[in-house]
């Protein structure tokens, strides 16, 4: 049963695809490597990584959701933004992951049972300061903190390859309606941080879906935040993962890149203060 497949993205970056609708990324320099996210925690990811790399490697998580932190227990040291420590504790439990996989939208591969799920990590995470960089030799991975999808969401940057791993931070189905998500106003400020460095990055890649986004998604999503805050967005009622919200744009939105489902009670920061 093949649970992990490799796909070259750029000189230093390899996408590791899984059958569960989520990918991870392995950034390999000439001295070290960095695994970004650990997927759902199904199968032996550690064995796969150690068969793939020939240099020492480290592991970081972009945020605390179960499809990104699920395999963290297999590794001795894992970095995570402390803002998502509490989220990981309840969201990445083995029970939560099993439920997500067997009730999710992707067909479960034949032969996958609950026994294939690794336990949840119990060892403490190493705090990942967003100002940290991982120097891998001939390339470096740095981060921008982008509270939005989760409070501690991070976007990795690999400047040598011109790659921004926007991950779950923004896309055609950006999920901003969770209890762990920020307000739309806070999220817009996060996008502004990405816009400040946009000229350094030509390729924007994600963990889900088509795998890459058009560069204009940064500005288009910033504009969508404006529309939501001005109550001029489409505000289409929706439901994702059993949680109701409103979509900022219609499902088909030619001429614009990106969309989000948000909680209409959590648009402005003062609404967050009252929550």
pTM of the model: 0.96
Domain ranges of the chain: 1-129, 140-275
182-209 pLDDT, tens digit each: 999 999 999 999 999 999 999 999 999 8
Q: How far out from the chain centre does Cα 73 lie?
A: 18
The answer to whether residue 1 scores a pLDDT higher than 80 is no
Tokens 């817009």: give the residue: 188
Q: For residues 2 and 228, which has the higher predicted lDDT (pLDDT)?
A: 228
Question: Is there a shared CATH topology between the 1-129 domain and the 140-275 domain?
Answer: yes
**pLDDT tens digits, residue range 37-67?**
999 999 999 999 999 999 999 999 999 999 9
Architecture of the structural domain at 1-129: 4-Layer Sandwich (3.60)
C-beta separation of 182 from 161 below 8 A? no
**pLDDT (average), residues 210-238:** 96
Cα 87–89–94 angle (5° rounding)? 120
- Which option is the CATH number for 140-275: 3.40.630.10, 3.60.15.30, 3.40.50.720, 3.10.20.310? 3.60.15.30
Give me the DSSP letters along 122-162.
-SPPEE--TT--EE-SS-EEEEEE--SSSTT-EEEEEGGGT
Give residue 272's pLDDT band: very low, low, confident or very high (50, 70, 90).
Answer: low
Measured CA to CA, the distance from residue 247 to residue 234 in angstroms comes to 7
* Predicted pLDDT of residue 156: 98
**Mean per-residue pLDDT of the chain:** 96
């Amino acid at each position: 049963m093949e649970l992990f497949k490799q796909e070259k993205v750029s000189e230093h970056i390899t996408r590791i695809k899984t059958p569960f609708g989520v990918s991870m990324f392995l950034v390999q320099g000439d001295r070290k490597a960095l695994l970004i996210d650990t997927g759902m925690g199904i199968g032996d990811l550690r064995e796969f990584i150690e068969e793939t790399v020939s240099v020492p490697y480290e592991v970081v998580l972009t945020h605390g959701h179960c499809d990104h932190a699920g395999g963290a227990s297999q590794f001795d040291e894992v970095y995570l933004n402390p803002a998502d420590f509490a989220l990981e504790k309840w969201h990445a439990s083995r029970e939560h992951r099993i439920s997500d996989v067997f009730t999710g939208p992707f067909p479960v591969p034949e032969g996958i049972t609950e026994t294939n799920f690794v336990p949840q990590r119990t060892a403490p995470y190493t705090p990942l300061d967003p100002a940290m960089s991982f120097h891998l030799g001939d390339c470096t991975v740095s981060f921008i903190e982008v509270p939005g999808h989760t409070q501690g969401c991070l976007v990795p940057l690999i400047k040598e390859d011109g790659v921004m791993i926007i991950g779950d931070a923004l896309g055609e189905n950006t999920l901003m309606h969770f209890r762990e998500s920020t307000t739309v106003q806070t999220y817009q400020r996060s996008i502004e941080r990405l816009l400040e460095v946009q000229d350094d990055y030509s390729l924007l890649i994600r963990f889900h879906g088509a795998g890459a986004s058009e560069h204009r998604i940064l500005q288009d999503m910033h504009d969508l935040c404006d529309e939501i805050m001005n109550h001029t967005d489409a505000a289409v009622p929706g439901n994702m993962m059993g949680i109701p919200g409103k979509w900022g744009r219609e499902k088909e939105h030619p001429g614009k890149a990106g969309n989000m489902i948000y909680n209409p009670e959590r648009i402005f920061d003062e609404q967050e203060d009252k929550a």
